[in-house]
Amino acid sequence: MKRFTTTLVSGVLALSAGMASAQEKVMIGEPSWPGAKIMANLIGQVIEGRLGGEVGYAPGANAVIFEAMDGGRGDIDVHPDVWLPNQSSFTDKFVDGAGTVALSEGSYEGRAGFCVPNYMVENHNISSVFDLATPEAQALFDTDGNGMGEIWVGASGWASTNIHRVKARDYGIETFLEPTTEDEAVFYARLKDAFAAEEGVVFYCYKPHYVHALYPVTILEEPEYDAAAYTIKTPDEDANWYENSSIMTGDQVKSVHVAHSKSLEERNSAAASFLAAIDMSSDELSKLTYEVVVQGNAIEDVVSGWIADNGDTVDGWLGLN
């Protein structure tokens, strides 16, 4: 009887230890951009609410988060928003090389380009970047009456702004439309007025972004991405970056994944399985960023509402359907 009791107690202790290990706290990295913060909170709420686990959040840059996931000690276990090929230097090193980090099987699509209001497509047949390089477009997009149209290529200091300045030149657009680089808040105030008056406006945009939930807009067609026709230098590496850059093709479509430390597969296997299966939608994330950034709602409330309304999707991530 004593031996049976000892064996039973040992078994219970072993089971309890195994359950504790399976529920080890998950530390979620939190990059600075809104989409990443929303994804981090979404992951955290699913782990806490549906898996009964414990989570923490650790703000940090990409390099810091990947180094911590590589370490496998639980300092940071998750990167919620890995853009590829933008962050391929990290995935080459830690996913393909060291094998210490894993990417989700699912992903959402990230795109960048130039947008116009849908009324410019429907009323003026503006559907391609090359439709901007015409005298007709020059008149349609001239909002200040100086004889030249305008095209917002992004805010000063953004890496994407340099890319789209080069595009405006090489697509022949700047012959008819002057590139502008005003602050984003200033431009979006002007964008609101343009929509209200149904004026011509064309601007740098990317997806997911709240503008796609805020206004009916269309990303203009560009030639399919071709690495041979896409050369961009940065001011840091080349003082003559603008003259030595050349782009006659659209940006490469981005694939955005969730990454997690491989060590999590042993420390919290339920969370690791969920992170491997998560598969967000670009349109859904755009709506969530709109609710957070434009409407000013708390991320936690927006995310909990989305989870409540999308139970079947979350069940799929958890392997329940």
Q: What is the DSSP string of 106-161?
A: --EEEEEEEEEEHHHHHHH---BGGGGSSHHHHHHT--SSSSSEEEE---TT-HHH
SS3 82: strand
- Supply the pLDDT for residue 223: 97
- Supply the pLDDT for residue 153: 97
Mean pLDDT, residues 210-238: 94
- Supply the pLDDT for residue 20: 39
% residues pLDDT > 70 (the chain): 93
Q: Which amino acid would we find at residue 251? A: D
39 backbone φψ class: left, alpha, beta (φ>0; ψ -120 to 50): alpha
pTM over 0.85: no
Name the pLDDT band for 236 (thresholds 50, 70, 90): confident
Mean pLDDT, residues 170-195: 95
Q: How many CA atoms lie within 13 A of 20 on its CB side?
A: 6
Residue 7 has pLDDT above 90, yes or no: no
- Supply the pLDDT for residue 321: 83
Q: Residue 82 forms beta bridges with which residues?
A: 257
pLDDT tens by residue, 86-136: 899 899 999 999 999 999 999 999 999 999 999 999 999 999 999 999 999
CB 148 within 8 A of CB 178: yes
Which tokens belong to 181?
């680089």
Range of lowest pLDDT (59-63, 130-134, 167-171): 59-63
CB 220 within 8 A of CB 205: no
pLDDT tens by residue, 266-284: 999 999 999 999 999 999 9
Give the C-alpha distances (Å, rounded to integers) separating 315 from 145, 184, 214, 319.
55, 38, 29, 6
Q: Cα–Cα distance between 302 and 305 in angstroms, integer?
A: 5
Name the pLDDT band for 12 (thresholds 50, 70, 90): very low
